[in-house]
Amino acid sequence: MHVVYNVALFEMIICSNANSTSHSTDNNSLPSFETIAEKQEKNVNEKRIRINRETYTIPEPCVGCPGENGQSVSLTAKESQGLDEIMKKEFFNLRASDKISLWRSIPDTRDGLCKSVPYPLNMPSASVVIVFKNERWSPVLRTVYSVLNRSPKHLLKEVILVDDQSDIEEMGQRLDDYCEEHFGELVRILRAPTRLGLIKAKNYGARNATGDVVIFLDAHCEANTGWLEPLLYRIRQKRTAILCPSIDMISEQNMGYTGTGYGSVGGFWWSLHFNWAPISQRTLNAQKTRVDSYPSPTMAGGLLAANRKYFFEIGGYDDDMEVWGGENLELSFRVWMCGGSLEFVPCSRVGHIFRPGHPYNMTGEKGKGDVHGRNSMRLAEVWMDDYKRLYYLHRRELLGKDFGDVEDRRAIRTRLNCHSFKWYLDNVFPEKFILDENVLAYGELRNPTAQLCLDTLGKDEKGTIPVSVFQCQNGASANQFYSLSKENQLRREETCAVTMASQSLVMGSCRLGNEQHWTHEQNGTLVHHPSNLCLDVDGVAHTEEVKLKPCEPNKLSQQWLFEHYAK
């Protein structure tokens, strides 16, 4: 281990670390031991001064190295051997990451207006908290270097790395030694005494922070130029604002860094998963310039900034939530309902590797393999009032299951005199479609003769899917819950029934217009306009796609009945 550490040190000095700070020695190209020995001899009696904010210097650029300026990285045929197994384990291209300098350059993706915004010198200080569990050497240290190299010295108080019981050797003593040597008092490593899970580990890091503002970053990020000042300035303006930087994309396939533009806010599904939604026109109208911070109903969760004292005044994260999942929506609802705001900051940009999975165990002691389900129950039971029914519509199997003691979380609502969830829907997210409110009809849509109901068949509703039928489940399946809106749209939560061809029907993006207009009378036909064709199950078996056919008023295969009609 001692030799490996000194190899990393030597290679940093000659700026070839981009190819050598790998987690395993079989990928490294080691310099000669004679050279290392010379370096050791030179420094053996040298008394080192511990690095601090004033003495830290940004390393020289790794000119010509792979991945510079955020470029994607190509692997040789030899380097690609065994890559599939690495991708399955790490969920990103670790080989490409290990070829890149730990302090690589990336393109400045800010809007041009951001570059001329003046910021005062007197702003709150920041502690950056980065939690990791079995994350790898190069992305973790690249995250740290990006924060140190692109943050004004007088504003960055510290970086706190919280190790949530990693069992990868390189992230133990080797990381301690590296951080002490190269970062000194700027970076602290906290080793969790027991496995905490991401949610509790964030609280642990924040409680140990000393800066005025706590900023949470994932351990696979790259902070961009000018990322810190806009966050601190907005919190100086508004203490109760929880802020999210704009998130750029780092490809999990080749580590290429690309800007994501502008135009989204956070939303949610009634199953209590996060989704992205377009910025509403009312929000755009309220902005003075396109680079002003703007409100978002929810946040993705990994990257956020908050006044540290305010963060705990409103309850921090729920310490009884396990591992990961649901905490982002819980904090989003709570902040809005209890008098704060959640905002996206266009001038603060941070790159993030969006991985399709997690390189660590996602089971919890209480939630077992369904930590998101249990965490979301806690959220629903405390914050959603009667609207929790729409969560349990998707997770009926959780009804009656244990979600732990939530009295301390309910006490937050009382102490802060928080609004109702209906207030949140009416004032923060009026664009959110409520499946069973202010609609003409809702629930199962059944053809009584065939005993078939419209059904998504569990397909991914983030895209376009066909309108199919399945044997009716008598209200037990969320896949069969449809609504007829007051705008006369036959719809689901995010999608509406539209024609693709003369007789084909799909669920696609909802937009007001004649092509999504339907008329219906109870136990009668469902007529699509302007085609004037009727929904028909003639000759259609379960799991097959429903058809549009010429209307015949007395044809039984064209008779439809919703489970509920508006009174």
Low-confidence ranges of the chain (pLDDT < 50): 1-47
Q: What is the DSSP letter of 75?
A: -
Q: Shortest CA distance to 348 belongs to which of 236, 234, 227?
A: 227
Q: What pLDDT sits at residue 501?
A: 66
Residue-wise pLDDT for 392-415, tens only, equals 999 999 999 999 999 999 999 999
What values do phi and psi take at 374, rounded to 5?
-65, -45
Contact 52, 75 (CB under 8 A): no
Q: What pLDDT sits at residue 357?
A: 78
* 449: Cβ contacts below 8 Å, ≥ 6 apart: 556, 557, 559
Domain residue ranges in the chain: 224-299+315-357+366-431, 439-565
Q: What is the DSSP letter of 503?
A: S
Give CA–CA dist 140/147, Å, rounded: 11
Residue 519, CA distances (Å) to 89, 441, 453, 454, 528 in order: 51, 11, 18, 17, 7
What CATH number was assigned to the domain covering residues 439-565?
2.80.10.50
CATH fold group of domain 224-299+315-357+366-431: Spore Coat Polysaccharide Biosynthesis Protein SpsA; Chain A (3.90.550)
Listed in sequence order, the DSSP H helices in 150-220 are 173-182, 198-207
Q: What pLDDT sits at residue 362?
A: 64
Q: What pLDDT sits at residue 219?
A: 96
Give CA–CA dist 448/556, Å, rounded: 8
Q: What pLDDT sits at residue 367?
A: 61
**Burial (0-12, 13-18, 19+ Cβ within 10 Å), 249:** middle
Residue 31, CA distances (Å) to 34, 35, 404 in order: 8, 7, 55
Q: What is the DSSP letter of 121?
A: S
Does the pTM exceed 0.85?
A: yes
What is the SS3 assignment for 406? coil
Give CA–CA dist 256/353, Å, rounded: 10
Give CA–CA dist 428/282, Å, rounded: 11
